[in-house]
Amino acid sequence: MNNLSAVLPASQARANFYYLLDEVSDKLRRFTITLRGKAKAVVIPAEEIESLEETMEIMADKKMVKSIQEGLNDIKHGRVISLDDYLHKHERRAVKKS
């Protein structure tokens, strides 16, 4: 069993590339690859980069960030209803409109 450090030189990453990929995809590990002692790349699971990209997209949308902040503030101050209560209330409205 190969036990790679989370930070490894490029030569070691190259020598263990397929193992590194298995660790990243199967065990959700991250590896920082260095060259001449300096970090040059990070290998992370594909799902994690997709999640980070989605987060960056949301954070770039000022209206969405404001809406999220308002929602969190509503939760903090108890201005919420349960999903069951919401559905029950809206089912009654739909029946009245019929």
CATH of 7-46, one of 3.40.710, 3.40.1620, 1.10.1760, 3.40.50: 3.40.1620
Write the pLDDT tens digit of every residue in 11-31: 999 999 999 999 999 999 999
Q: How confident is the model at residue 95 (pLDDT cuts 50, 70, 90)?
A: low
Share of the chain above pLDDT 90, in %: 81
CB 30 within 8 A of CB 42: yes
Q: Kindly state the average pLDDT of the residues 48-64.
A: 94
Ranges of beta strands (E only) in the chain are 7-9, 31-35, 38-43
Domains of the chain, by residue range, sit at 7-46, 61-97
- Give the model's pLDDT for residue 80: 94
User: What's the pLDDT score for residue 3?
Assistant: 83
DSSP letter at 5 equals -
Taking the whole predicted model, whether its pTM rises above 0.75 is answered as: no
Buried b (16+ CB within 10 A) or exposed e, 43-67: bebeeeeeeeeeeeeeeeeeeeeee
